[in-house]
Every structure is written in C-alpha cells, then in structure tokens.
Amino acid sequence: MIPEKVERGPRMKYVNLDHISSNPLLPEVKQAMIDAITHDYHNPSSQHKAGEEAAAALEKARGQVAGLLNADSPKEIVFTSGGTESVNHAIKGVAMANADKGKHIITTNIEHNAVIRSLRRLKSDGFTVTSLSVDPMGRVNPRDVAEAVTRETILVSVMHGNNETGTIQPIEEIARIARDRKVLFHTDAVDSVGIVPFDVKTVGADLVSFASNTFYGPTGVGGLYIRRGVKIFPLFDGGVQENNKRAGTENLVGIIGMGTAAEIAARDIDRRYAYLKSLKEKFLRELPQVLDEVIINTHPVHSLPHLVSASVKYIEGESVMLMLDDEGFGVSTRSACATGSLRASHVLLSIGLSHEDAQGTLVIAFGIDNSAEDVERFLKALKTVVTTLREISPLYKKASGGK
C-alpha cells in the first residue's frame, strides 16, 4: 500500500534516472532530423536525382554508424526499426539460413525477451536450445559455452551488457570459442553500443544488435552488424533494400538522426564513459550512508558505466518507483519491455535472488544530462521513500523484531 500523496512546495526539475529505457535526443540530432524533414527527401530507392540524393544521405548515415562500431565496411550495417527487430533478424535469419548444418543454439538464462521469444519460436520449428546458467553476479562461464557446443550447433547468442543488472559478459572469450568451433556468434549489444567503446573487430562477434536511442538518437531506429560473409536470411520479403537483407523503404529521417548520434558517440565515447561512471560511483559510494539492507546486483568491475541494480529489502520496487516519481525522479524496476508483468524478473531469479528481493529491485540508469547534484537529491528522496514504506511493511517489522 502506498501512502496518500501529501501537498508539497514547488517541484524541482524532473530527473530522469531511467536512461536504460530511452534517452533524450541530443540537440545536434534533433536539428539534423529537422533539416532532413525540411529538405523533404525522396525515396532512397528511386532512380531519379532526388532519389539519388536521398540514397547519398542514407549511405552517409551508414558510414557514421559503421564508424561507431569500427566495421570493415558500411555494407556490414543493416538498418532496422530498433533493437528487437535486430535481435529477431540475427537469430531467426541465421537459423533459417543454416538449418541444413544443424538446429542447435546456445544462449543464457538472462537474455532480453527479444532473444528468449525468438528462440521459443524456433523451438516450434524443430530447433533445440541450450540456456546456460550464470553466477550470482550474472556472468556466464565461457567454459560452459564450450562444453555446450555440439556438431549441431549453428549459433551462440549471448548479450553484452544486461539491461536489468548492467553486468557485462565475457563475450570476447565466448566469441573466440565460437570461432574456433566454426559456430556463428551473435551479441545483443543494444544497451552497450554508444555507451561503452565497442569495436566489432576486438569483440569478434559475427552479428551485433544495437539501437539508436541508447546513444541519444531517435527511437524506432536500430541496426544489425552482419560480418561480411555471414549467411543470413531476411525477415521481410519485398524489395531489395539494405543489400537484399531488409525489405521496405528505410526510415530516412530516423536513420539520419541515428547517424548523427553515432558520429557524436564515437567522438565523445571516452569522455561520456568516464562521466557516467563517476555518477554511478558516487551513488554506490554514498548509498550505504543513507540506506541499509540493500543488495547490489551489478558486477563491481564488469558492468555498464551508468547502470545500477539495487534490491531494497522488505518493500516492493514498484511502490518505491511510484513514490519517487511523485518526488520528481524517474527510475524503473525492470526491463521496460516487461513493464506490467507481475512476475519477478527472470534475470534476477537467475542470479539467485528470492522472489521478495527481486520484487524490491530498482534499476537506476544515469545519463549524460544528469549531474552530481541530481545524485545527491535522489539519495535523499530515496531514503525518505524507503523509510516511509518500511514503516508500514510487515516484512520489515518481522525482520526488525516487530519494532
């Protein structure tokens, strides 16, 4: 039960601490999209001069995105409608194109629903899936991946940075294992690309899914890196767009925005990473001073620089979230794609949390528009909200001896 709202003085600015769900457009990105709308581009597939001009703008953006990933060629980038489509295309496209070699796929227990449900669909088509467990910090053991590979294995799909805990997987080692076994490797890097330095050559992945809004571009636009030579079927039938890999007229205005955001991310990635990490470290350093009995689910070393998963014992995370929203702070309790589900997060259960602690989890994701002052204000509000809720929590009263 959430206490009734009380009247307060003038509210200070609303602080978004849910940057894992979406991010505001950078001013340069917004202007690039306005310019594109004003220019009134034609269809990039048209053969006349206006179409050729649109195609040139499309390819410029493709080059900008390829630069962010350090791809060998812009042709290795396929534009999509976002991270979910990119994941679906990678998994289903590889499965359809390589079913003659085998029907076994390896993944983990902590993947995004886009991966889980894509694989569930493939199971109905006769594919088998091995889903590997993770340790209490949410990391899969590469040895488990190696042991799971069979002669029938055609794909390993392991996410890079988890969208609920922030923990980063040892994907470079996993990629080497897959490459040595002649198995394709896909990583869902939707919450990593543009936030951490991400070089597809260093990582060694054959396919990488990513989304524009993660690095302050528009929503509804994403991409799939497909290493040259990888055999993959398109999801959509129709035209020959995207080098015959993704039929349908491209979202040119959105893609131009993503290209601009990618270029800025590539330029600012080190500075952006350091700043986000400083906010996260400040929060983690000062949190124990204002709250006790909080479980940090994020790996202390191998994690995204801006995300913290914190399980506050004895209370429900949704109640905390709603009260913090009233205080002017936006946080989440789990993946935005799972919002509305009453079930505990499969990710948090997979790392060993109880249902009660999983339900009391907050996901705090800082952004480049946040400040140290925002962190301090948030900690004060969090203390007030948690204290209020624990005072009426039967679990807290029981744990504290009925006091």
CA 306/CA 295 separation, integer angstroms: 17
Helical residues (DSSP H) of 245-371, grouped into ranges: 252-290, 317-327, 346-350, 355-359
> CB 304: neighbour CB atoms within 10 A?
27
111 half-sphere exposure, CB direction, 13 A CA radius: 29
Give me 106's structure tokens: 């390896």
- Whether 108 contacts 159, CB under 8 Å: yes
- How many Å separate Cα 164 from the centre of its chain? 9
Residue 335 contacts residue 164 (beta carbons within 8 Å): yes
β-sheet bridge partners, residue 211: 222
Reduced to 3 states (helix: H, G, I; strand: E, B; else coil), residue 167 is strand
Q: Looking at the annotation, which residues are catalytic?
A: 337
CB neighbourhood size of 56 (10 A): 11
| Rounded Cα gap, residues 58 and 66, in angstroms | 12
Q: How far apart are CA 356 and CA 342, in angstroms?
A: 12
Number of separate helices (H) and strands (E) present in the chain: 14, 12
3-state helix, strand, coil in the chain (%, to 5): 45, 15, 40
Dihedral pair phi/psi, residue 331, rounded to 5° = -130, 175
Q: Residue 25 contacts by C-beta under 8 Å, 6 or more apart in sequence?
A: 33, 216, 217, 218, 257, 261
